[in-house]
Amino acid sequence: MLGPIVTDVSGTVLTEEDRKRIRSPLVGMVILFTRNYESPEQLASLCSEIHAEKPGVLISVDHEGGRVQRFREGFTRLPALAQYGRMRKRSPGEALRAAWSHGYVLASELLSLGVDFSFAPDLDLDWGHSRVIGHRSFSKSPEAVAELALAMASGMHAAGMACCGKHFPGHGWANADSHRELPEDTRFADEIIDQDVKPYSWLGQALDSVMTAHVAYPGVDELPATFSSRWIQDVLREQCGFEGLVFSDDLAMGGALGLGGVVERAEAALLAGCDALIICNSPEQSDELLAGLRWERTEEFDRRSGRLDPAPRFRDRGSLSRDPVYQDAVRRVPQTDPDLVDWTE
């Protein structure tokens, strides 16, 4: 990454305002949404525009499967991750191979059109009462989540894409939606670390990056995890031994707004241990952050962010479609379970 800021763009082609933001030396990544997509051909053109505007900038998307799949028409329909947890109960081996295929298809289809990175897989545990997680989780079992996430991440790596575990230390217990408000998880620290944090500890360096949760855990720290050095430095870095890049979740979300203005929020996240800062769906706040943040590049940032550089096996859909590994992987991605169909955002 050329800089620590992850920003968005307004539509299916770049505007002059988009270009100005991308050219900022602080911007290292552009994140895309459904509003930026019309067709595979249009997406490839938009990615070419972005890469030409600033060579070296990375392009990312939230593209997990289930309801969090930003690009749908012209892409393989990927099921919610919960489907692999259900499959694992019947046949663990079949579930692992299908999860690997999910990761390979996800990454190879994106890379073939110019998208460099996806914020996946989700490592949250499904405790059964989170409005924002639900079927996005593989399972309530830390062992199942770790095994299936490792298989999915391995598939992504095989296609040439880095991975991102989220939302550290866990968003599966708290009921509220952090897009709108600050959720709270009132469990004791030992319970969270012994369960929700376990996939991060077990996966270790298999994770290239991690995204924090805008969730408060008052039994550990009054500050939400994104702004808590106790969570990022003491638990993630020290206890889990994580050496990759740490992304904040979107600093414009409701769960982050209690820390002051956007520059203050960004500074607090960096001080706590975040390496990269997502700010999207708020052009005014993006411009304020790009104008006001003071940041210095370090060797540590370059080492961590360098793990996100893509190495795609195929750079166009034609050659990808002829790849026997891709053909096999598409066949092994299961049809969506009717009980898990939820395409609402």
Report which secondary-structure segment, H or E, holds 152: helix 142-159
Residue 209 has pLDDT above 90, yes or no: yes
| Tokens coding 72 | 């749908």
Question: Which of 179, 309, 323, 337 is flagged as catalytic?
Answer: 179
Question: Which of 8, 249, 250, 275 is flagged as catalytic?
Answer: 249
Mean of per-residue pLDDT scores for the chain? 94
Confidence of residue 129 (pLDDT cuts 50, 70, 90): confident
Residue 345 has pLDDT above 50, yes or no: no
| Tokens coding 22 | 């991308």
Domain boundaries, the chain: 5-332
pLDDT above 90: percentage of residues in the chain: 88
Report which secondary-structure segment, H or E, holds 103: helix 92-111
- pLDDT (tens digit per residue) in 210-226: 999 989 999 999 999 99
Q: What is the reported pLDDT for 174? A: 86
Location of structure tokens 């046949």:
91
Helix, strand or coil, per DSSP, at residue 221? strand
- pLDDT (tens digit per residue) in 136-189: 999 999 999 999 999 999 999 999 999 999 999 999 998 756 556 678 899 999
Mean pLDDT computed over 313-342 = 89
Selection from 172, 159, 170, 167 nearest residue 130 by Cα: 172
**Residue 260 burial (CB count, 10 A):** 12
DSSP string across 20-55: HHHHSTTEEEEEE-GGG-S-HHHHHHHHHHHHHHST
Mean pLDDT computed over 81-92 = 96
Residue 255 has pLDDT above 70, yes or no: no
Is residue 179 part of the annotated active site? The answer reads: yes
Report which secondary-structure segment, H or E, holds 83: helix 82-90
Is residue 249 part of the annotated active site? The answer reads: yes
Residue 330 has pLDDT above 60, yes or no: yes
Mean pLDDT computed over 334-343 = 72
Q: What is the reported pLDDT for 1? A: 94
Annotate 194-214 with b (16+ C-beta within 10 A) or e (fewer): ebbbbbbbbbeeebbbbbbbb
DSSP structural state of residue 254:
G
Confidence of residue 328 (pLDDT cuts 50, 70, 90): very high
Mean pLDDT computed over 264-277 = 97
Mean pLDDT computed over 53-80 = 96
Q: What is the reported pLDDT for 164? A: 98
Residue 284 has pLDDT above 80, yes or no: yes
**From 3.30.470.20, 3.30.540.10, 3.30.70.260, 3.20.20.300, which CATH number describes the 5-332 domain?**
3.20.20.300
pTM of structure: 0.95
Cis peptide upstream of residue 157 (ω within 30 degrees of 0): no
Q: What is the reported pLDDT for 182? A: 77
Q: What is the reported pLDDT for 269? A: 96
Confidence of residue 279 (pLDDT cuts 50, 70, 90): very high
Query: Do 50 and 44 form a contact (C-beta atoms < 8 A)?
Result: no
